[in-house]
Amino acid sequence: MDQIIFEYIEGELPLEDKEVFELRLLKDDEIKEQVELWKVTIISEGFSYTSELEQKLFVKSRRQWWNLSLNSILFVSFLLFIIHATLKEPELSEVGVEKRSFFQEKILRDESKLGFNKKEIYKYENTGIVETPQEVLFDTIQVCYEEKVENKTLHEVQKKGLVIGATIFLTNTYPVKRMKIKKAKRTLTRKEVRAGNRKTRKDTERRIANQFRKGNVPYVVPLDVSNF
């Protein structure tokens, strides 16, 4: 019965059933009271769909486009810069030595801050070690730095690169390997050796004596049974 009343109030009853129900309403007072109670529960406010609500809340962000475009511009400009730097022909100096590329300059500048003596050696894999970079078609190169510490020479293989034409493409960086300087063993004098042995002996005797003091009496200090 509640279902029928609900459908009647909602206006979803078919016409035939509606006419029968209305005839019954006129006759039955109980049904009439229930219908009145049902009518009180009807919400009179308007209904809004969620899609409409979403559309109201949705705000197009212009900042995302701005960030994306800025990042892309920066990336493209960086690429162009790199290409320009690498493809730029090095200028020849008066002496005939090629000017170093951007990466080489940067490396040298960084290393110079450390303040150690260095001598740049260009080592070509196919042609050998030379002191000045040479124009080759294709070769691998190692930029080595020679460091002098306390009259000992340490070679550091620092950068590895690829030479195409007269341009050096420095690709990988390797950790600096330093030769270990072995410290000479300190030789003790006879006096120091005797003093060390005496100290060891006295420490042993003191330790043994303390063990007796801590332990329960009685105790016995025997002769060395390994000798007597």
Would you tell me which residues interact with another protein (CB under 8 A)? Answer: 197, 200-201, 204-205, 208-213, 215-228
Residue placing its CB nearer to another protein in the complex, 137 or 220: 220
Give me the least distance between CB of 199 and another protein, in Å please.
11
Give me the least distance between CB of 216 and another protein, in Å please.
6
Residue placing its CB nearer to another protein in the complex, 11 or 215: 215
Give me the least distance between CB of 189 and another protein, in Å please.
18
Give me the least distance between CB of 187 and another protein, in Å please.
20
Q: Residue 35: name the closest of 73, 74, 9, 63 by CA.
A: 9
Give me the least distance between CB of 196 and another protein, in Å please.
11
Residue placing its CB nearer to another protein in the complex, 43 or 217: 217
Q: Residue 143: name the closest of 133, 153, 154 by CA.
A: 133
141-146 long-range CB contacts below 8 Å, 24 or more apart? 141/168, 143/104, 143/107, 143/170, 144/120, 145/111, 145/118, 145/119, 145/120, 145/121, 146/117, 146/118, 146/119, 146/120, 146/121
Residues in a beta bridge with 173: 159
Residue placing its CB nearer to another protein in the complex, 67 or 210: 210
**What does the angle CA 25 – CA 30 – CA 31 come to, to the nearest 5 degrees?**
40
Residue placing its CB nearer to another protein in the complex, 95 or 220: 220
Residue placing its CB nearer to another protein in the complex, 69 or 211: 211
Give me the least distance between CB of 211 and another protein, in Å please.
6
